[in-house]
Structure 1
Amino acid sequence: MTRSASFGRVGIAYVIALIVAGSWLGWGPRTDLLWLDTLIADLLGTLVVFGFSRRYRNSSCYDAYWSVVPPVMLFYWWFAGGLGVDQIHCWLVSIAVVVWSVRLTVNWARSFQGLHDEDWRYGMLRDRAGGFGFVADLVGIHLIPTAQVFLGMVPVYVAVTTPGDNMLWLSGIACVLALSAVLLEYLADGQMRRFVGDRRPGQIMDQGLWSWSRHPNYFGEFSFWFALALFGVAASPADAWWLFVGAAAMLAMFQGASIPMMEERSLQRRPGYQDVIDRVPRFVPRLPRPVTV
């Protein structure tokens, strides 16, 4: 299947997923809880994408769902439950989420080779699950990421549906932090893309932002979700104690799953990567340690 045809199949999957989700929100049974109705719709859309993943034997069908759905949820929440909410506050949230979504989706599109090419981590997860590969695919690759993104978006729900005064100054800080995180990811991904295109056999990336952190893209992604939590706090300071749960879940996924898998693979393919581990911080950017002789 050609790359353009693959884009078409993924696009059809997402259109059908959004139609199914929208149909549930429009005509399905209501729980009288806007967030819960949206979660059910989101899970139904995920099941549609999962069906396409199984049809084409490629779970990378799901990858862009991570970045496509959040702005849809945001605008649905805003227009369904945002009466009385400070509109400047809502626009700041919207700018942050839309810029993040466009950047991440475009980055996915640039790296997507087609439905013949699947993210290597998905095959590893299914293989490790043995006879439970189907369950690992459904739960680990599709449903859990959907739940994590939804949890990360809960502060946005609070931000665009909580009427009354909010701390607009904190919303401004959150917007600047979110856009800075997106810029960090953009620069890190661009540097990695150029490196991959020009690298010599066995060469290891430790340049630019990647000399300050072994995973600056993941740090940027976590920073974005942390900024979304700040938007929620700005709208409802009394809920600050739980609004960072989504960002914490993202951090746990990066530190407990994504980064260890990436580093294990790098060490297997490039033994010299151990030198990078010894010199360059794992996550939070800072000056690299000097080379010792």
Structure 2
Amino acid sequence: MSGFDWGAFAVVSLTSLLAIAVGMAVTATIGVRIKRHNVVDVSWGAGFVLIALVSAVVGSGDLWRRLLLLVLVAVWGLRLATHMAIRSRGKGEDPRYEELLGKATGNRTLYAVRKIYLTQGISLWFVSLPIQVAAVSSGTFGVLVALGTVLWLVGLTFEAVGDRQMEAFKSDPGSRGQIMDGGLWAWTRHPNYFGDACVWWGIFLISASVWPGVLTVLSPIAMTYFLVFATGARLLERHMSERPGYREYQQRTSYFIPRPPRRAPLSTPGG
């Protein structure tokens, strides 16, 4: 721990905060102008790419580690940002933000800045701590780096394939009014969120391969909490729970961690 350059980390962290502040300010300006705050979902993935880029440029640790994390975060973040931009194009405000802004008692714009953009910016900084620490760390390419990269790849696959399968399902006129329960969606009700969690646990392992990266464990825990309990799976399930067939889908399909689907219960005579 004595060999860790806390001064260099402070420079990376403060520069990342500045980049986040600028990014969120631009995003908020766009959101207010188009009257649709779900634009922040596009900047979520892009924000991590910006932090990884800043960390790679300003950091003083192993060049290969900085470049590895930049590539991994860029592939994940740019794919997610593009996906969210396409998904929201031509549509109105996300119901999550409509519900949140409905609680505003004063100026809705200031309320949105505080509750959406400021909260998102702080979350970006905290979840990205493994990237920031790794940017000023030095060490060899070990088992944890390899395991982290593999876990990242598993996560990216789940997220990308899950999103693609859902897009194909929604674009099929014959699926209208039905519940998507094929492909990865038969193994978990949220393959994209599960994949997202794996991506960030993989990034954490790469950072944890060199001390004090292991101390950033609260970052992937926070991301997993967001995905499972806060703004991710639980909130989506609340909106989906009343759709015909969704209750049955919940009974046979794992909530988050993938597993083979349960068989439908056999009907009994007179049952």
TM-score for the superposition, normalised by structure 1: 0.80
Where do 4+ consecutive residues of structure 1 move more than 4 Å?
A: 132-136
1:32: Cα distance to partner? 5.9
Say whether residues 1:125 and 2:100 are aligned partners.
Answer: yes
Closer, same or farther: CA 32–285 of 1 in aligned 2, 3 Å? closer
Say whether residues 1:263 and 2:260 are aligned partners.
Answer: no
1:248: Cα distance to partner? 1.1
Aligned length: 255
* Counterpart code for 1:173: L
Aligned to 2:155: 181
Query: Unpaired runs of 5+ in structure 1?
Result: 1-30
RMSD (Å) for aligned C-alpha atoms = 2.1
Question: Distance in 2 between the 1:139 and 1:286 partners?
Answer: 39
Q: Which moved more, 1:87-96 or 1:132-141?
A: 132-141
Say whether residues 1:102 and 2:78 are aligned partners.
Answer: yes
Aligned to 2:221: 248
Query: Unpaired runs of 5+ in structure 2?
Result: 1-8
Asked if the contact 2:15–2:54 (Cα under 8 Å) also holds between the matched residues in 1, the reply is no
Aligned to 1:79: 57
Aligned to 1:170: 144
Alignment equivalent of 2:249, drawn from 259, 270, 276: 276
Residues 26-105 of structure 1 mapped to structure 2, 5 A cutoff: 33-82=11-60, 85-105=61-81
1:277: Cα distance to partner? 0.9
Deviation readout 1:61-83 (Å, 9 max, x if unpaired)? 2221111122222222222222x
Q: Judging by fraction of residues, say which structure has more helix.
A: 1
* Counterpart code for 2:30: F
Deviation readout 1:22-68 (Å, 9 max, x if unpaired)? xxxxxxxxx96430242144124312321221222110222211111
1:176: Cα distance to partner? 1.9
* Counterpart code for 1:57: K
1:212: Cα distance to partner? 0.5
Question: Distance in 1 between the 2:228 and 2:69 partners?
Answer: 26
Closer, same or farther: CA 215–178 of 1 in aligned 2, 3 Å? same
TM-score for the superposition, normalised by structure 2: 0.86
* Counterpart code for 2:182: Q
Closer, same or farther: CA 67–239 of 1 in aligned 2, 3 Å? closer
